[in-house]
Amino acid sequence: MKVTIETLAAIYNVGMAIVMADGELKPEYVAPLEKFYGGINGFTNEAMMKVVDCANNNKNLTMERSVELVKSLDVDVKKRLVNIYADIVRADEQISDKKMVMFNGVRNLCGLPAPATPLVDNSDDVIAPTFIAAKTNGLAYPFQSTAESWQELDADIAEHIGAERTEIVRFTAPLNTLSKQLGLVDCHLVFLVDREGYKKDGLGDNMTGTLLYGSGHEILGNIVFALESDNGYKLMGFTSAALIENAYIEINATVGNLLRLE
């Protein structure tokens, strides 16, 4: 990995933000960062001192600048780095809520993938089918539906986006990429829009939808994210807390952090 001292210091700054999220500094919290730098070929103690000095004394290396530099790293480095940051959170015998929140914020802002091993093993937590609504103003929220037929589900989703009927957007390049990033099996990510939205006045551009449509066509009004089966195109909700969390993080990273939870 060939990066500048400034970028290495940015990685340190972001990691230390997670370390200090709950105000405690312990050797075991910093150990994962030391492991990261120790794994760089030819990296010396002198180089580490330069990294720490840059992190602490370079006035231009703000947290905002640090996030930008981490976000610009290539995918392979990000995959390695997110596991290091996850290990900082795991260093506590009981995972700190504040560290968990900071870790998820770092993932979101820096566009990091999911760690190889989830921080909280809630993959088996089956929940009622849950969908993610995204408004034109950038606010997003999850909602559940127990509808047993397509007609009931369509009506339920339509209510959340202020529509009479919905239309499904599927298989755009950005959505296909997100489906791969989420590791979806036998299903893919879609979003639903107001079928008659282009006829209505004042709905407003849904920038999240427009970016995920990916062809310059403007998506109007609120949208709802869901899953759809590869076989038979059956519309489904997210049924695990981990998948909902990862879907929100990956979607938001893809659209440049336009979303915020309501």
Q: Which helix (H) or strand (E) holds 223?
A: strand 223-229
Q: How do beta strands 238-240 and 139-144 pair?
A: unpaired
Q: Which residue has the tokens 């230390």?
A: 16
Regarding pTM above 0.75, the answer is no
Which pLDDT value is given to residue 107? Answer: 87
Which pLDDT value is given to residue 120? Answer: 66
Per-residue pLDDT 10s for the chain (262 aa) are: 678 999 999 999 999 999 999 898 999 999 999 999 988 888 899 999 999 999 999 999 999 999 999 999 998 899 999 999 999 999 988 888 788 888 888 888 888 888 887 776 555 565 788 999 999 999 999 999 888 788 899 999 999 999 998 999 999 999 999 998 888 889 999 999 999 888 888 889 999 999 999 887 899 999 999 999 999 999 999 988 878 888 998 899 899 989 988 7
Write the CA distances from 222 to 136, 144, 159, integer angstroms.
Answer: 5, 17, 10
Q: Which residue has the tokens 């500048």?
A: 4
Which pLDDT value is given to residue 124? Answer: 54
Of 203, 194, 181, which Cα lies nearest the Cα of 248? 181
41 vs 73: CA distance, rounded Å: 18
196 vs 213: CA distance, rounded Å: 17
Q: Which residues contact 219 (CB under 8 A, 6 or more apart)?
A: 169, 193, 197, 205, 206, 209, 210, 212, 213
CB-CB contact of 30 with 86 (8 Å): no
The torsion region of residue 183 among left (phi > 0), alpha (psi -120 to 50) and beta comes to: left
Residues in a beta bridge with 142: 132
Which pLDDT value is given to residue 99? Answer: 87
Q: How do beta strands 139-144 and 260-261 pair?
A: parallel
107 vs 82: CA distance, rounded Å: 8
> Chain-centre distance of CA 52, in angstroms?
28
- CA diameter of the chain: 66
Q: Which residues contact 110 (CB under 8 A, 6 or more apart)?
A: 14, 67, 70, 71, 78
CA Rg value for the chain: 21
Which pLDDT value is given to residue 187? Answer: 94
Write the CA distances from 176 to 107, 154, 180, 248, 253, integer angstroms.
Answer: 20, 23, 6, 15, 15
